[in-house]
Amino acid sequence: MRLDRHYHVCTFFRSRDEEYRVLGPFYKEGLEWGEKVVNLCDAAFRHEHLARLAQLGIDVEGCHDRGQLLVQSWDDCYLAHGRFDPDRMLQFFDDASSAASAEGYSRLRGMGNMDWALSNPPGADQLIEYEIRLNEVVGRHKCLVICVYDLTRLPGATVMDILRCHPLVLIDRTVNENPFYTPPGAFLEEIRARRYRDPDPAHGR
């Protein structure tokens, strides 16, 4: 994935096997290219996640021990303090990218499993706004971040909003320019106006 203009990618899967078939090369490539790889996922899935990486031929223990591979629970990042805070997560990727450079890695390569949002935790109504704003952070650092979504659990309108946030989409191991991508400034205004018009009391508790 030699990208030189955009760095924010989304991808959708219908099964765990499909996810690792497509994302496997993404993990392996980053480690082989001397990047720092950060995975954000469900703590309950951590053991299986590491096992699947090992099945791909990745030296999971070695990469972890030398600090090149970090697997972090989404409860400690996306849902720290019991709610989703876009500013905190943007700072997370800002800091992680700076740290990767300071540690001598060529760049940060991040993967965020977004299933945490499906339970509608406090602050989840700001997810799309966060995805839009993340473009500035990854573009500034030229770090590669891929956001992973379960297509079987998302309504069509949400899928379209997610697509509009990401300049790139990963389909069957190929990164493609996304024709649905909307420039961040215009889309951010639209999302904020939409949330103002149609507030949902179930969000942001």
Q: What is 8-197's CATH number? A: 3.40.50.300
Q: What is the CA radius of gyration of the chain?
A: 16
DSSP secondary structure code for residue 125 in this structure: G
What is the per-residue pLDDT across 50-104, written as a single tens digit (0 to 9) for each? Answer: 999 999 999 999 999 999 999 999 999 999 999 999 999 999 999 999 999 999 9
Spatial contact of 203 and 123, defined as CB atoms under 8 Å apart: yes
What is d(CA 68, CA 19) in angstroms, rounded to the nearest whole number?
A: 22
Cα of 73 vs its chain's centroid, Å: 13
pTM of the model as a whole: 0.91
Residue 9 Cα distances to 29, 80, 105, 148, 187, angstroms: 16, 23, 20, 9, 17
| 73, 46 contact by CB (below 8 A) | yes
Quick: pLDDT tens for 150-175.
999 999 999 999 999 999 999 988 89
5 phi, psi to nearest 5 deg: -130, -45
